[in-house]
A = this chain, B = another copy of it.
Amino acid sequence: MASREIEALANALARLPGLGPRSARRAVLHLMKKRENALQPLLAALQTVSEKLSTCSTCGNVDTSDPCSICADPRRDETMLCVVEEVSDLWALDRSRLFPGRYHVLGGRLSALEGVRPEDLTIDRLVARVSNGGTDEVVLAMNATLEGQTTAHYVAERLEKFPVRLSQLAHGLPVGGELDYLDEGTLAQALRARRPVA
């Protein structure tokens, strides 16, 4: 249909999550039609990110600077640390703008099945961060999956000996959740963690 170069671009775009072969072709056409307003800005943005991309040596976030923009932000509460599995979890939490502290990205979750052991994650680095002092509270924000909770349990054990408060995200009904559609596990958690009506 089109030249090899255009096919290559369509293929590269089609590998992005959320774009299939058909929408990738539409995107290519869009880019070629709007050369100044779409192709050039995307190219420039990709180039900048590609040049500057780095993993924060403190928290494990990916950003265009090291330390990352969160670790470098003086308005962030240094005494609070939120531990997450992946960078995508950090982004999701930070979009809510509700956590004023800093983060620690483990880089995955413990999994016997996938052969992920504690030394494959950045747990040692987390322990070192906490042992340096200055941290009052560590929020364990792993996924509410078996592996996420196993990881949280393991991290909690490793941090027990330090004078920090350990907490974890509440489990229960999601906003808008209808009892009829929720699984028994969620309902059990919500019932067990029920709170007195104020």
Contacts and interface: CB of A to CB of B under 8 A. Distances in A.
Interface string A69-83: 100000000000000
A145 interface: no
A165 interface: no
Nearest to A52: B5
Contact of A3 (B17, B65, B91): B65
Contacts of A1: 91, 94-95
Given A33-B62, A48-B8, A27 B38 contact: no
B2 A45 contact: no
A129 interface: no
B2 A69 contact: yes
Nearest to A18: B23
Contacts of A41: 8, 12
A6 B63 contact: yes
A30 B17 contact: yes
A95 B7 CA distance: 13
A30 B68 CA distance: 18
B18 A26 contact: yes
Contacts of A35: 50, 53
Contacts of A52: 5
B26 A17 contact: yes
Interface of A: 1-3, 5-6, 8-9, 11-13, 15-19, 23, 25-33, 35, 38-43, 45-50, 52-53, 62-65, 68-69, 87-88, 91, 94-95
- Nearest 6 Cβ contacts at the A-B interface: A18-B23, A9-B45, A12-B42, A16-B27, A5-B64, A3-B64
